[in-house]
Amino acid sequence: MTAPPREGRPALFLDRDGTLNADTGYVDTPERVHLLPGAAAAVARARALGYLVVVVSNQSGVGRGMFGPEAVEQVNARVDALLAEADPAARLDAVYTCPHAPAGDDEAGCECRKPAPGLLLKAIREHRIDPARSWMVGDKASDVEAGRAAGTRTVLISADGGPGGADLGARSLADALDRIARREAAA
C-alpha cells in the first residue's frame, strides 16, 4: 500500500537581513547588501532538497518614510543577483515584504508584519505550500513567532546557535540547512 500523496510543497521561508545578507541597520540601497558567508550555497542546497525558497521580510523603513518601496525592490534585486553570482542554483522563488512601521500602543498592527504570519500565509496560499513540511529561518524571535503562527517548523540563527524557543538553533543559514537536512533524514 502506498502512502497518500502530500498536499502542497515544502518551503524554506527566510528572513532577509541577518539571515541571507548582513543586517547593517536599514538596508536601503543595493550598495549596502553583503551576502553572509555560505548563504548562496545554503539556498542552492535548499532547492536541491526540494524546498521552495521564499523570503519574508519586514521593511519598516518604508512605513517610517526613510525610503520608498522602490528601494526595497532594488535591494531585493541585488540580493538575487549576488546569490546567482555566487551560485547559479541559488535562486529565490518569491519575496514578500511588509512595508509597515510597527504599530504604536494605541494602534492596531497590520497582519503582514512579523511576528504576525500574514506574509507566510500569503505565500502558502499563492504557492500551494504545505506549512507542516516547511521551515521558517530567521535571526529574531519575531521570525520564530511568525513561523509558528503559520504552522511551520522554525530555526533561530544566533551567535551561540541555541534554539531560543525555535525547533532548532543554528549559527548561520548554512548551519541551519545542515541541521534541517539531518532532522529530515532522521524522520
106 is catalytic: no
CA distances from 138 to 5, 17, 157, 161, 164 (A): 30, 9, 6, 12, 12
Instruction: Write down the catalytic residue from 15, 139, 143, 167.
Output: 15
Among 17, 28, 143, 167, the active-site one is 17
Tell me, yes or no, if 175 is annotated catalytic. Answer: no
Strand, helix or coil at 12?
strand
Q: Write phi, then psi, for 43 (nearest 5 degrees).
A: -65, -45
The rounded distance, in Å, linking the Cα atoms of 8 and 19 is 25
Return the bridge partners of 9, or none: 129
| Residue positions annotated with a catalytic role | 15, 17
